[in-house]
Amino acid sequence: MVKVNENFLKMPGSYLFSDVAKRIAAYTSAHPDARITKLSIGDVTRPLVPAVIKAMHDAVEEMGTFEGFHGYGPEQGYLFLREAIAQNDYASRGVAISPDEIFVSDGAKSDCGNIGDIFGVDNTVAVCDPVYPVYADTNAMAGRAGDYLEQMGRWSKLTYLPCVEENGFSPEPPKEKVDIIYLCFPNNPTGAVATREQLKAWVDYANANGSIILYDSAYEAFIHDPEVPHSIFEIEGALTCAIEFRSFSKTAGFTGNRCAYTVIPLELERGGTKLNGLWNRRQCTKFNGVPYVIQRGAAAIYTPEGHAQVMESIEYYRNNSKIIRESLASAGYQCFGGSNAPYIWLKAPGGMGSWDFFSLLLDKANVATTPGVGFGPRGEGFVRLTAFGDAEATKNAVERIKKVF
Ligand code: PLP
């Protein structure tokens, strides 16, 4: 009889967002007049920008002609997009990344999950706590995480890197040797960023131990502080120890379009094997590329008008972040993140737990948030607020939160 992958049977239920939705539904059915503002959404709400729409329209027209029709594209992505990425996201910041080191994909989520295919099952893995759940769960599915310890909310074989107030939610390398390290900056859920010095410590650690850093910078476009690195490859030594994931989802409103990319330097080798070659083999075997029309749309954000339009949307969200952060801080709340990220990590006053604070804000302010503990035990005592909503609704929601205490 067929045996299933028993690692899947160890997976805890993914309750966080369904629990949040259930509690909101229960509240609104008991209070039909309540108008809930969802500062819990992790999805963009602004429409695609005109330059992207035009590029996609033009590409659709092309596809309707014999000369312009595109069938299967290169598994790695069209060269026009990889060249635009290399030039605009890297060369412009003084980082030499060639198109051969870039793999266009249908999402940073898929890439972060699939990258485990090229690593042996015996590698040790470190993730942040709190964490974007994809990193831990996909390692559990592959058998690298051990057993799920329900009481602790942790996997037995993973190393957890505490991201807490004391370290500015940016962890230091552990004392022990870990093979694979997932880092995400700007961070989901805390909104924290890592400094150059902090990243340098990680790069040195990885090069010294033969580890690999899997660096998720899906929220890179929200960085505005010139001191904050946009890419791990801005750090000296990273080309020999890091893989970077980027996405058009939050940068350009592509969550429904699906386009992202992963950078694997040609210099990156372990045991004499180039990881770029392994990922290329993996992608060519299991992936048939991102649609031509979507890649044309993505490339449009690198034109001067496309860039300006996309930055306007980012600015809209950044303004929401600013309103949330500054208004809540002025009312005495402790807020973290939100300056270079679309997430604000709000501390519950008086040592209250995440879920109690969630319920209080839902009831007294009619605002939905995401309980921090849902991202890991070290998220207890926090809720995550997002800046992806409507500006007016966000402003009003914040005013209501201010009045709760
Ligand atoms: N990485 C992080 C940290 C995220 O928060 C998200 C989405 O919320 C993703 C990756 C997913 O990106 P994509 O839409 O490209 O799959």
Atom of ligand 1 nearest to the CA of 132: 3
Q: Ligand 1: does its nearest atom lie under 6 Å from the Cβ of 105?
A: no
Q: Ligand 1: does its nearest atom lie under 6 Å from the Cβ of 107?
A: yes
Predicted local confidence at residue 94, as pLDDT = 96
Q: Ligand 1: does its nearest atom lie under 6 Å from the Cβ of 109?
A: yes
CA distance 119 to 113: 12
| Token pair 């990220």 in the structure block, residue | 341
> Ligand 1 centre from 188 Cα, in Å?
9
- Selection from 226, 230, 231, 188 nearest residue 338 by Cα: 188
Low-confidence ranges of the chain (pLDDT < 70): none
Predicted local confidence at residue 274, as pLDDT = 98
Q: Ligand 1: does its nearest atom lie under 6 Å from the Cβ of 255?
A: yes
Predicted local confidence at residue 401, as pLDDT = 97
Q: How far apart are the first and last CA of the chain?
A: 60
Q: Ligand 1: does its nearest atom lie under 6 Å from the Cβ of 251?
A: no
Choice from 41, 135, 138, 247 to test ligand 1 binding pocket (greatest atom count within 8 A of CB): 247
Predicted local confidence at residue 18, as pLDDT = 86
Predicted local confidence at residue 17, as pLDDT = 86
How large is the C-alpha radius of gyration of the chain?
21
pLDDT tens profile 24-47 = 999 999 999 999 999 998 899 999
Of all protein residues, the one whose alpha carbon is nearest to atom 3 of ligand 1 is 188
Domains defined for the chain, CATH in brackets = 8-47+305-402 (3.90.1150.10), 52-303 (3.40.640.10)
Q: Ligand 1: does its nearest atom lie under 6 Å from the Cβ of 189?
A: no
54-72 CB burial, b ≥16 within 10 A, e <16: bbbeebeeeeeeeeeeeee
Transcribe 114-162 into DSSP letters.
HGGGGS-TT--EEEEES--THHHHHHHHHT-S--EETTTTEETTPEEEE
CA distance 248 to 149: 35
CA distance 293 to 334: 44
